[in-house]
Amino acid sequence: MELTSILQGIISLVLILGLSPLFVGLVNKQKAIFTGRIGASLLQPYYELMKLIKKETINATSSSFISAVTPMINFIAVVIAAAMLPISFAHPLISFEGDIILFAYMLGLARFFQVLAAMDIGSSFEGMGAAREATFAVFAEPIFFFTVGSIAFISGFTSIYDIYHSIRLDNLSFVVFIIVCSISVFILAVTECSRMPVDDPNTHLELTMIHEVMILDNSGIDLFLYQYSSYIKLFIYVILEASFFYPFAVQSYTLGIIIFLVVIFILSAALAAVETITSRFKMKNIPHYLLFATAIGILNLLIYTFTR
Amino acid sequence: MQNILSILFCLSLFYLAVTPRVKAYVAVLRFQGILLTILLMVPFVEQFSVFAVILPATLFIIKVIIIPRYINKIILELDIKRTIEPTIQQFNFLLLVIFSFIVIFLASSILSLTTNIETIPFASGFAAVTVGIFIIIFRKKLIVHVCGFLVLENGIFLFGTAVASDLPIMIEIGVLLDVFVVVFLMGIALNRISSTFEGFDVTILRRLKD
C-alpha cells in the first residue's frame, strides 16, 4: 500500500471517530426541532462523553472478568470495522479481498461480547435485554449479507472499497437497485443502532428497552466506551449507506465530498423524521419488519441471478 | 424501464405481505395502478398515437381513481376495522411469499430459455397472482379478499404485457370493465351481508349451512 492511501485511511478513521458524536447531536437537534423544542446543543454528545470519562467505574460484585474486558473489546471491534470503511473516494486503512465478512463479524463480535457481559452481571433485566438483542440480531444479520452481499455478487468484488468503486450510475437498473438496497441498509441501521421503530433510545422503562437495558449497570469509563462505540456504529451504517452515492466522486473529488456530506445530512434528517412520526413496534412485530428488509435483498439477488 | 417498474411492483407485493392495515392495501392498489399506467405509457416515448392512449387512460381512471375510492367508501360506510386479521402469523406469511418468489423466479428463468418472454415482468406478474391468491386464502376480512383479487388481476395484466407486447385493446378494456363490475358487485354483496348479519368475518360465514 502506498503512503498516500495509508494517510487517507488514517484521516478517514480519525474523521469517523471524531465526527460520530456530532452526527448523533445532529439527529437529536433535528428531532427536537421537529417536535417543537429548541433542543440540546450539537456538541451535547461530546459533553456527555467528557462527563462519563470523569466518573468513577463501579462493577457489580457478581460480575466476572468478562464485564471488565467487554467494553474494551466492544470498542476495539467497532473501531476496526470503522477502519474498513471508505469515506467517499478515500482508501480505507484495512482493505483486502473478503473484508465484508470481517466487517460483519467484527460488529457481530462486539454484539456477542455485549450480550455476554449483560448476562454476566446477573440482573434479570439485563438478561432479558440480552435475549432480545440476540433474537433481533438473528434477523438483522441476513439483511447485511443479502444487500451488501448481493452487490458483491453482482460486482464480482469482495472488498468494501472495490464494491463501492464498481457501482456505476449510467445503468438505469443499477440506480433502482441502489435505491432498493439503501432502503434495506436504512432498516439495518435502525435495527443495529437501536433507533426508533425497533428500539427507543430515550426510553426509561427497563421492560421496553433492548439495547439500553444491557448497559444499565455500567458506569464511568465502561459506559463511555459503550456509548462511544454505539455512536461510531451508527455513523458506520450511515457511511455504508452514503457510499452508495460514491459514483459522483468519479467526476471530481470535491463534488464527491459535497454529495457525501449532503447524503449524510439527508440521512440524519430521515432518522430524525422517522423517530418523530413513528412509534415503536410491538416486540412481536419486529421480526417481520426485519424479514421485509431481507426480502428486498433476496429480491435483488433473484433479479440479478436469473436475468443476466 | 419495464424491469424497473416490475421491481417496484415486487416491492409493493412485499409491502402487502407485511402491512397490517386495510388502508395500506388500498394505497398499494393505487400505487400498482399507477405503475401499470406508466408501463403502458412507455412505448409512447417513441411513437405517439391517440388511439393507443385509450387503454392507459381507462386503466388510470378505473384502477387509480374509481376502485380505490369505492373501496374506501365501503370501508367508511360499513365502519370496517383497520386491521386485516390474518389467519396465520405475518412472519410465516412473508416467509411463504419469499419462498414463492424464489420458486417463481427460478421457474421463469427456466421458461425464458426456451420461450421468448421478458423474465422480470413475467416473474413479477406471476408473483402478484400468487400473492393475490395467498391474500385471499390467509385473510379473514371480505374487503381484503377483494383487494387480493385486484392484486391478482394486476398480476395477470403485468403477465400479459410480458408475454405479448400488444394485446388487442378491446380485450384489455373488456377485462377492465369486468374487474370493475366484479368490485362493484362485491361492494353490493358486502352491503347486503352487513345489513343482514353482524360483520363479515369469513370464519363466521362458514357456519351458514342450509
> Can you say whether residue A194 is alpha, beta or left, with left for phi > 0 and alpha for psi between -120 and 50 degrees?
left
pLDDT of residue B167: 60
Is residue B30 assigned to a domain? Answer: yes
Low-confidence stretches of chain A (pLDDT < 50) are none
**pLDDT of residue B193 exceeding 80:** no
pLDDT of residue A75: 94
Is residue B210 assigned to a domain? Answer: no
Is residue B199 assigned to a domain? Answer: yes
The answer to whether A176 contacts chain B (CB < 8 Å) is yes
Q: What is the extent of the structural domain holding B64?
A: 2-205
**pLDDT of residue B165 exceeding 70:** no
pLDDT of residue A81: 92
Is residue B50 assigned to a domain? Answer: yes
B208: confidence class by pLDDT, cuts 50, 70, 90: low
Residue A222 Cα, gap to closest chain B Cα (Å): 37
Instruction: Among A173, A291, A302, select the one facing B101 at the smallest CB separation.
Output: A302
Cell for A177? 437497485
Please tell me which residue of chain B has the smallest CA distance to A290.
B91
Is residue B193 assigned to a domain? Answer: yes
Helix (H, G, I), strand (E, B), or coil: what is residue B112?
A: helix
pLDDT of residue B210: 57
R_g (Cα) of chain A, nearest Å: 19
DSSP A46-79: HHHHHHHHHSPP---TT--HHHHHHHHHHHHHHH
**Pairwise CB contact (< 8 Å): B90 & A172:** no
Average pLDDT, chain B: 82
- Cα A23 to Cα A26, A41, A84, A261, A262: the distances in Å are 5, 12, 19, 11, 13
B97: confidence class by pLDDT, cuts 50, 70, 90: very high
pLDDT of residue B116: 76
pLDDT of residue A184: 87
Q: Which of A290, A294, A307 to mutate to test the interface with B (most CBs of B within 10 A)?
A: A307
Residue B42 Cα, gap to closest chain A Cα (Å): 15
pLDDT of residue A1: 61
**pLDDT of residue B123 exceeding 60:** yes
Ranked by mean pLDDT, the top range of A270-279, B48-57, B193-202 is A270-279
Instruction: Among A173, A296, A306, select the one facing B11 at the smallest CB separation.
Output: A296
Report which residue type is found at B122: F
> How many domains is chain B built from?
1
pLDDT of residue B168: 67
Instruction: Among A180, A287, A298, select the one facing B91 at the smallest CB separation.
Output: A287
Question: What own/partner pairs with CB < 8 Å and gap ≥ 24 does A167-172 have?
Answer: A167/A244, A167/A246, A167/A247, A168/A247, A169/A247, A169/A248, A172/B1, A172/B4
Is residue B77 assigned to a domain? Answer: yes
* Helix axes A220-242 and A44-54, enclosed angle (nearest 10): 150
Tens digit of each residue's pLDDT (9 = 90 or more) over B63-90? 888 888 988 888 888 877 788 788 888 8
Helix (H, G, I), strand (E, B), or coil: what is residue B139?
A: strand
- Those of residues 249-288 in A touching chain B at CB distance below 8 A are 285, 287-288
Start-end of H helices in chain A: 3-34, 44-54, 65-83, 99-121, 124-155, 160-166, 172-192, 220-242, 253-277, 286-306
- Those of residues 30-59 in A touching chain B at CB distance below 8 A are none
**pLDDT of residue B200 exceeding 80:** no
**Pairwise CB contact (< 8 Å): A176 & B8:** yes
> Can you say whether residue A5 is alpha, beta or left, with left for phi > 0 and alpha for psi between -120 and 50 degrees?
alpha
Q: Please state the separation of Cα A244 from the chain's center in Å.
A: 15
Cα–Cα distance measured from residue A13 to residue A18, given in angstroms and rounded to the nearest whole number: 8
Answer yes or no: pTM beyond 0.90.
no
Tens digit of each residue's pLDDT (9 = 90 or more) over B14-40? 998 888 888 889 999 999 999 988 888
R_g (Cα) of chain B, nearest Å: 18
* CA-wise closest residue to A160 among A92, A216, A76, A107: A92
Residue B140 Cα, gap to closest chain A Cα (Å): 19
Cα–Cα distance measured from residue B11 to residue A303, given in angstroms and rounded to the nearest whole number: 12
Cα–Cα distance measured from residue B198 to residue B201, given in angstroms and rounded to the nearest whole number: 9
pLDDT of residue B130: 93
Is residue B124 assigned to a domain? Answer: yes
Residue B3 Cα, gap to closest chain A Cα (Å): 8
